[in-house]
Each structure stands twice: as structure tokens, then as C-alpha cells.
Amino acid sequence: MHHAYICDAIRTPIGRYGGALSSVRTDDLAAIPIRALMARHPGVDWAALDDLSLGCANQAGEDNRNVARMASLLAGLPPEVPAATVNRLCGSSLDAVGSAARAIRAGEAQLMIAGGVESMSRAPFVMPKAESAFSRSSALYDTTIGWRFVNPLMKARYGVDSMPETAEHVACEHAIEREAQDHFALRSQQRALAAQQSGHLAREITSVPVPQRKGELLQVTQDEHPRDTTLAALARLKGVVTPDGTVTAGNASGVNDGACALLLASEAAATQQGLTPRARVLGMAVAGVAPRVMGIGPVPATQKVLALTGLTLDQMDVIELNEAFAAQGLAVLRRLGLADDDARVNAWGGAIALGHPLGATGARLATTAVNRLHATGGRYALCTMCIGVGQGIAMVLERV
């Protein structure tokens, strides 16, 4: 078995819904971190790239018809380089990274780019075709997030709970207090703002040039979702499912835009292309859970990847847990035997503060994990996240 190394990782800033990146087409957005990797490594023979894999959850608008291939061509990679789009909803880009690593470890590839993209601002409305001739019925679905074109059998067997509803289910079943959720959200915001101010996040970001109606291009260089808030302000927010619910806009992840790309190589390819390995992908695992409590998915996925790699949670120096909701994040931590405020978890902020562009977030977790390992001198990192319709995914990295 060969080793699979992450040699570089870069992402765009994460934009708010309707914010700074909302005018950038999804395929153009996906091309930006790929182009940045190419610029950072001018000595690489990009024609030697075996494949490119990008995660994307929506694929209903400008991300249609294999957005990975579109982004590859728009970025300027040779047409001979193939590309594929992966869809495991929220886990898409972490799956893309893990699948690229598997191909390298199996000896079927030597050099790959993997990552993901999502422009939730530009997700379109879609209409189904009429089910009968001369039908005058119509329907319209917003593809930004959640269910559409629901199968009645799926609804009858598993329900079609919205993402906030699944978080409320998790909060109820695991007795996650509202106050604890707000404290969790505040920590995420405070840590993200501190990481911005210290320059930690800037090192993993490439700017996005955004055309303006008048004047020069606007260079977007910083995540725009973090907010300077207080516990009192968070406590005043009403529940989004029911007024007395515990899940609020303040303790949930955002609806966002962003893209991320990682360069992976075998040891031989890294040497040949003059690349410096930064981390080794030790393993990835996925697991299924009931759709109505999808947020608990990281627990079995983490248990599987730790068993696969022969490691323990105590050995993890860095833990990047996607904060889809504070409720599910806390439930996962408690089920895994970790403290609510474990210092290893999302030390530079999580999705509640940074945002959650669905198909790009997993790659962002891996990017941040690699950078944190090098910043702290740690050895092992765990990246894990829940996935809509009831799944979890987890990956273990080792600093080199």
C-alpha cells in the first residue's frame, strides 16, 4: 500500500448568502482555488495530473453537468486531465479528498486535485415537468438546501424533516440544553474572529476577484460570515422550528458560498514534481444513521475510522467537527466522551462562525486541520461531519 500525501491546500473566503461572492458563477468559483494551486506550484507538470475530483451538493444550476470538469477547464488545466463531481451532500468534498487518497494508496493514481464548491446564493428555483398531457398544475422548488421532488415512499418510511428539525430531534433525544448550544456558538464566533485577527485563516485563503459595475475589481480576501456577538444577543433569538425551540439562527451554521482544493500525491510523484508533503491521509470512513437524526452521524463514522487506523481520540491533537448545528455538535462530542469546550475542537472557529458552503466544507475542514497541525506541532487530526439524509463521514490525517 502506498502513502497518500496532502502537499498543499487552499480555499476561497466563505461568503454570506447574497454576499460578496454571490455574483460569482459556481463553476468560476470552483476554478479559483485550482488556479491558485497551479500558481503556487509552477514547476508541476499539470498534464501529469491523473484526475480531479470536486464535491458539490446541489448540481441544479451553474454547477450542473459535472462542475468539476467545468472548473478544471476554466482553471486552465490541460483538456487531457479528467474530472468528476462527487455528491455525498455535506460530506461531498471530504469524500472527494478521501477517494483521491484511496486511488493513490491503491497505486491507481499518483497526482490528484480534490476539493469542493457550493454557491448557495446562486442555487436556482426548479420546476418539475407536468405529469400528464395538458396539465395545468405546477410546482416550484428552491434548491438552496433541503428536500425537493420528495418520494412519497421516502416520506412515509423516514420522514422528510428539514435540517433544523433534525437538529431539534437530536437536541431532544440527547438532552442538549439551549444555554449550552449558545455557549458553543459563541465559542465558535470568538475563536474564528481570533483566528482572523492572528492571520491563521488568511494563510489558507486565496482572494476572489469580483467585478463591480464601476471601478476596479473587488478583491474578497476574508471570510464574511463571522459575527462579533454576545451570549445575551444569542439568547434573545427565537427558535427557527418553533418559537420555543432550541435551534436558532445564532447556533446553526450559515447558508454560504465557497470553494476549496487540495493537491494530493504519492511519495514518488511528490519527489518527481518537487512537492513537499504536509500531511498523510491515514484513512476515511462513512456511516449511516436515521435521517431524522442525521446530526449524530459523526459518532459512528469517527468510531469506524479510529478502528480502521488503530488510533484513539486521545491521540488526536486537532479535531475539526463540522458545526451544522450546535445541538448536533454537542451531542456528538458528548457521545464521544469529549468536553463541550474541548480545546482541540474547532480551535480556529467552526461552521457556525465561518459558514457551511455544503459541497466545500469537508475540504475546508481538511485544509484547516493540516494548517493547525503545522501551527501547533501536533501529529494527528480528525475531520468529521454529519450529512443530510442520515450519514456521517470522518478522516484521520497525520502531519509529516
Report whether 226 contacts 187 (CB < 8 A).
Answer: no
Catalytic residue among 90, 183, 200, 225: 90
331: phi then psi, degrees, rounded to nearest 5: -60, -40
Only one residue has cell 482541540, namely: 344
Nearest Cα to Cα of residue 356 among 279, 256, 280:
256
Nearest Cα to Cα of residue 71 among 55, 48, 91:
55
Residue 217's identity, in one-letter code, is L
Catalytic residue among 3, 169, 225, 356: 356
Catalytic residue among 7, 56, 260, 386: 386
- The answer to whether residue 356 is catalytic is yes
Dihedral over Cα of 312, 180, 57, 256: its sign: negative
Which CA distances in Å does 296 have to 91, 149, 385, 393?
14, 25, 9, 11
- The answer to whether residue 56 is catalytic is no
The catalytic residue positions are: 90, 356, 386
